[in-house]
Amino acid sequence: MCGIIGCVSDSDVLEILLDGLTNMEYRGYDSVGVGVHDGKTIKVIKVVGRVAELAKNPDLKSTCGKIGLAHTRWATHGGVTPENAHPHLSCDRSIAVVHNGIIENYQLLKNELELKGHIFRSTTDTEIIPHLIEEELKTGRNQRDALLAAVNKLKGSYAFLVLFRDLNDRLYGVRKDAPLIIGLGGNKNFVASDVLSFLKHTKEAIFLDNFEVAEVRRNSYTIWNFNGEEVLHTISTLAWEATSFQKKEFTHYTLKEIHEQRESIFKAFNQDINEVDRFCLSLQGVNRVYIIGAGTSYHAALIAKHLFIKMAKLPAEVILASEFEDYIPLVDEDTLLLAISQSGETADVLSAINVGKRKGASVLSIVNTPTSSLARESDYTLYLKCGPEVGVAATKSFTAQLAVIYSIAFRLSNTAADLQRLSKAVNRVFDVERQLAYLAQVFLTAKDCYFIGRGLNYPIALEGALKLKELSYIHAEGFAAGELKHGTLALISEGVPVVALNPNDKTYHDTLSNVAELKARGAKVIGVSDVANPLYDYYVEIPSVESIFYPIVEVIPLQMFAYYSALERGQNPDYPRNLAKSVTVK
């Protein structure tokens, strides 16, 4: 998955495109490219690396034009090379394409096009698109009709933009199963994967639906479906502020977002009670509830399951979005899918809910991005309200997800909690930040790290391990503490760090026994707890809270540990290698 942006303006677009790409680097950052129409030809420059690399390219100095497109890549088909970076061109260089998604039948189409004499310069699936359009133009169709004819031959999930050398006043955008949004900026219009890329210029946006093609000019646009029939859309006004993308005094977005949790958790708790009630009614009114998520959102789903059972005796099953297919035979009109996602664009999640909807299931979601595909495709949505999250690793969105889940669980069980006390506790967690930076130094050369916890603390063990893997590249695993003796103990040897999540709840004594077993085998134990114990080599003190809230005060130190471990090892925590924040491919 990748980020794409196009702009048609009354002035030079190069800076706008590069700036827009920078705000979408979370979608991929292994290579980058830009194509600008200079009035005569489409000039293309592409490099391996991030937008900053492209910005240094001397060829950019002589590149200017009022219409262009650009791309930041997360490789799927074809290695990370300048040739595989986008834009891709037709044989005669008259058609440039940037693409996010996967063309599933590209091999077949490529064979056919090669037989017709097309020469391919890359090993990507994307490159077949400009060649296919080029072929359709040969039949005498105009550009729009050639594009529609080509689109109807593609299989897969994609959003892409097309710039024609022979039409230097418009761009085309095509959407099927990957986001694409038009931004209306008065004297310049945009079409991009994410509103973040043009939010600085306009808050007026149109969210394209699947199977739509848009023609975007400097101050007008037209949208058709894949049959060529015109479609009308309403214009949305975006709620987010461009200023929320500034790092402020922090060195990295990740650290800023970790700190924002002092407030963001409580903004997420502040849900409209009627909306929550509506959610609860839906949850209680069905036979089966499946909670779906990926990555960090899957860990939030595990906590939701614990809380729904514990507080409301509401049974629910948690399924990794990418594994949902096996459950399809059980889905019917009496099934509810609760999808949890920060971006609301994760392809595995969208695919699961679409299949579920086709079988009659209702869909609730917990989402951060109000304008996302998931929010638009759900029956009801509760929002995280934590503002845009830029760091690739989820931090504030995770605790906001927990806050929304708590709000639901409280309503389901007709209970409430002392949020003022929790707020004080969350502020106190930050007292351990220096200690976590120190521990990151202590374990600078560690090759492995394990995390253990029981009950509600087990998903936090998984999340702590995921954060450490993502940011520092240390091999890390989270385990249910009780499972240690069933295999994992074999991995423990002298000096191996183990983080024990052991708050003063009903799991305390059992987990302490597991700590003793670990110590007996030489592990260096970091105890995350509100009760000190001599068994811990290092004691990270968390504040005492109501037992259901321990996940919140435990996870923040683990986020800090991962952040500082990345810094110690010379990695950029905002942009971990090989990852992307929003995974729009399956």
Residue nearest to ligand G6P (CB): 295
Binding site for ligand G6P (CB under 6 A): 294-297, 341-343, 346, 349, 392-394, 579, 581-583
Find the shortest distance in angstroms from Cβ 324 to ligand G6P. Answer: 13
Find the shortest distance in angstroms from Cβ 209 to ligand G6P. Answer: 20
In angstroms, the Cα distances linking 548 to 365, 418, 427, 505 are: 22, 12, 18, 9
The residue among 113 and 583 lying less far from ligand G6P, judged by its C-beta, is 583
Task: For residue 581, indicate whether it is catalytic.
Answer: yes
The residue among 216 and 268 lying less far from ligand G6P, judged by its C-beta, is 268
Catalytic member of 2, 7, 386, 449: 2
Task: For residue 2, indicate whether it is catalytic.
Answer: yes
Is the CB of residue 103 less than 8 Å from the CB of residue 129?
yes
Find the shortest distance in angstroms from Cβ 120 to ligand G6P. Answer: 30
Find the shortest distance in angstroms from Cβ 140 to ligand G6P. Answer: 44
DSSP secondary structure string for all residues of 233-274: -PPEEP---GGGG--TT-SSHHHHHHHTHHHHHHHHH---HH
Q: Would you call 357 exposed, middle or buried from its count of C-beta atoms within 10 A (0-12, 13-18, 19+)?
A: middle
* Torsion 80-81-86-92 (CA) sign: negative
The residue among 346 and 559 lying less far from ligand G6P, judged by its C-beta, is 346
Find the shortest distance in angstroms from Cβ 537 to ligand G6P. Answer: 30
**CA–CA gap between residue 90 and residue 513 (Å, rounded):** 66
**CA–CA gap between residue 345 and residue 368 (Å, rounded):** 10
Find the shortest distance in angstroms from Cβ 254 to ligand G6P. Answer: 11
The residue among 286 and 579 lying less far from ligand G6P, judged by its C-beta, is 579
Measured at the alpha carbon of residue 375, what is the angle toward residues 372 and 379, in degrees to the nearest 5?
160
User: In degrees to the nearest 10, what's the CA dihedral of 86, 88, 93, 94?
Assistant: -100
3 state SS for 157-195: EEEEEEEECCCCCEEEEEEEECCCEEEECCCEEEEECCH
The residue among 352 and 545 lying less far from ligand G6P, judged by its C-beta, is 352
The residue among 162 and 384 lying less far from ligand G6P, judged by its C-beta, is 384
Find the shortest distance in angstroms from Cβ 475 to ligand G6P. Answer: 18
Beta bridge partners of 277: none
Find the shortest distance in angstroms from Cβ 470 to ligand G6P. Answer: 7
The residue among 170 and 396 lying less far from ligand G6P, judged by its C-beta, is 396
**CA–CA gap between residue 190 and residue 470 (Å, rounded):** 32
Q: Which long-range contacts (CB under 8 A, 24 or more apart) does 491-494 make?
A: 491/448, 491/450, 492/450, 492/518, 492/521, 492/522, 492/523, 493/521, 493/522, 494/522
The residue among 90 and 395 lying less far from ligand G6P, judged by its C-beta, is 395
Catalytic member of 256, 305, 524, 581: 581
**CA–CA gap between residue 358 and residue 354 (Å, rounded):** 6
Tokens standing for 558? Answer: 């683990």
**CA–CA gap between residue 108 and residue 28 (Å, rounded):** 27
In angstroms, the Cα distances linking 314 to 72, 337, 409 are: 43, 14, 9
Compute φ and ψ for 264, nearest 5 degrees: -60, -35
Active site residues: 2, 581
